[in-house]
Amino acid sequence: MLCRGSLRRATRFGRLTFHRAYGDGTDARARFLKPLDARHSDGWDILNNPLWNKGTAFTWAERERLGLRGLLPAQVRTIEEQVSNFVTQLSAMDDQPLMQNLMLQDLQARNETLYHRVLVDHVEKMAPLVYTPTVGAACQHFSSRYQRSRGMFFTPEDAGEMGVMMRNWPRSETQVVVVTDGSRILGLGDLGANGMGIPIGKLALYCAVGGIAPHRVLPVMLDFGTNNESLLRDPLYRGYRQPRALVDEFVRAVFSRFPNVLLQWEDFSSDKASNLLAKYRENYLCFNDDIQGTGATVLAGVLGALRLQRRPPEDIRSLRVAVVGAGSAGIGVAQALHMAMQQAGLSAKAAYSNFYILDQDGLQSKARFSSLTEEQMAFARADLPDGMALEEVVEQAKPHLPHLVLGLSGKRGTISEAAIRKMAAAVERPIVMPLSNPTSSCEITPEEAYEWSDGRAIVATGSPFEPVALADGSIKTPSQCNNMYIFPGIGLGASICQSETIPDSMLYESAVALSRVTDEEEMARGSVFPSISKIRQCSHAVAVACIRHAHDLGIAKASPGCDHNRGETYEQWVTRKMYYPEYAPIYTSHTR
């Protein structure tokens, strides 16, 4: 029976009132699911609301109570049976990942609970379909395959109206907003409004992996134009047909409507990403996954690689790092590792000397001071010639050659055979991390990295790759260094405790927490990241670390026990707050 206190605490969603169902998936079925009040909606309305539709899982009692009799096939299915049936249909198209992505989009538009349950129960299979690498192709076909609106779009025509427009979004409890302008989508460049697939895909992972309920997320496209001539000529292109030129107004509109929301910047071009983050991060709860999320994820992978070699985390101060790709993501990774080296005892100056940053013109040196950003200049070399190729850096830097090479260039082949062979000749376990997405943009394949290092390389990639059979018959499985290990947990933790900001030290603690989730069995297989099947455990650990650190810094506005659950630990608080996709009973107010 639903008590009056529970009814008073119900959360409003337009005409629908619902009760939250949380749980971390480890023992989700033991959780009490509070009934959902559909408030005078008829059966047809409920079937066409993806947040409440259960399809054939509506019980006979619900069908009678909600006016659904005759609107559904007679057979009642459990959510587990529905998941199995859908996955069977999906698997019949394993050779067509883009079509599988479209099938998942269609399911999401019909039944959000089932969609997220499919993702949770089959995350290893589904994550590459809803996000990298398949999301790249989905974005390229966004306009031609557009079927249903999801999220919000803002254009220059909306100047002066964004605050009012934000009120059009019906879900007042929005917790996470992911926004892009489409100017740098993965390694595909400027896709304009077609890049909307990225916020949608990110938020699918926020829900399934991070435990943010689907009614609490909002994907946004700042459609301020595109510089991509082929899109401007495409008659099917859905976006604003002007070159890209209003972010302040948008930010004010978001935080006026949702004061405690987390705003995630996503896939902005390098010339904008760092500036936007620097401008807003001290005054708003915001986060750039390409810069900060990538940096924290790579740091966790590097700490995992040290664990794999039975070396203490403090040994990060002795690592020398080559970063191929000097955009916002590459510099963000370098900054995260630089901070970790300082945490391990190095001075800032000494830590900078451990880095070699390369762009399309080769090694960045101080001779190029007039064309480098302030962040790039901090890492620029004064002891080596400008413009050196990676293999030349490895040769000339002896005895201080890199132990670790990171690929963030978005270009296939930028980590060469010569460079890897020279590294492997001097380093027992070279660390090779080609991180660019999609797979076609990966700087080096795992097979190449293993072959050129005689099987000794520790490899982690941005996109998933199949295991590699070596010449000696052994099998190597590359780790996947994907931001989905980090960003859902950061968003979950920061939003639960209502952190005022996300400081760099919180990102560091997130990386440390993630690195500790990998167990001995996984490390024995050569993995520096946990199995994707443990991804919700990773999000839980990261969220707890974020919350604990926010309280240590005094920037958390909410605490365990603030909602009548006194005596909770941080771990219990996060567990209770994590959404788990499961059907709850539904009633309408006039049938109570």
Last residue of a domain, one of 236, 271, 288: 288
Residue 437 is assigned to a ligand binding site: yes
Claim to verify: residue 271 and residue 154 sit in the same structural domain: yes
Residue 275 is assigned to a ligand binding site: no
The answer to whether 349 is a known catalytic residue is no
Query: Among the options 34, 115, 131, 356, which is catalytic?
Result: 131
pLDDT tens digits for range 426-473: 999 999 999 998 788 899 999 999 999 999 999 999 988 889 998 888
pLDDT tens digits for range 366-401: 999 889 999 999 999 999 999 999 999 999 887 788
State the pTM of this model: 0.87
- 461 forms beta bridges with 480
Confidence bin at 133 (pLDDT 50/70/90)? confident
Claim to verify: residue 235 and residue 346 sit in the same structural domain: no
Instruction: Confirm whether 423 is domain-assigned.
Output: yes
The candidate with the shortest Cα–Cα distance to 139, out of 191, 104, 102, is: 191
Query: Among the options 34, 202, 534, 577, which is catalytic?
Result: 202
Instruction: Confirm whether 33 is domain-assigned.
Output: no
Residue 266 is assigned to a ligand binding site: yes
Instruction: Confirm whether 398 is domain-assigned.
Output: yes
CATH number, position 425? 3.40.50.720
The number of domains in the chain is 3
Residue 482 is assigned to a ligand binding site: yes
pLDDT tens digits for range 317-349: 999 999 999 988 899 999 999 999 999 999 999
pLDDT tens digits for range 232-246: 778 776 766 554 448
Q: How far is CA 309 from CA 312, 523, 530, in A?
A: 9, 9, 16
Residue 184 is assigned to a ligand binding site: yes
Domain housing 450: 319-481
Beta strand segments in 223-331, E: 262-265, 286-288, 321-324
Claim to verify: residue 506 and residue 359 sit in the same structural domain: no
Claim to verify: residue 476 and residue 497 sit in the same structural domain: no
The answer to whether 131 is a known catalytic residue is yes
Instruction: Confirm whether 148 is domain-assigned.
Output: yes
Q: How far apart are CA 353 and CA 342, in angstroms?
A: 12
Q: Are 147 and 200 in contact (CB under 8 A)?
A: no
Claim to verify: residue 279 and residue 350 sit in the same structural domain: no
Q: Are 41 and 590 in contact (CB under 8 A)?
A: no
Confidence bin at 532 (pLDDT 50/70/90)? very high
Give, as one character, the DSSP assignment of residue 316: G
**Phi/psi of residue 178, each to 5°?**
-115, 125
Residue 101 is assigned to a ligand binding site: no
Q: How far apart are CA 89 and CA 520, in angstroms?
A: 36
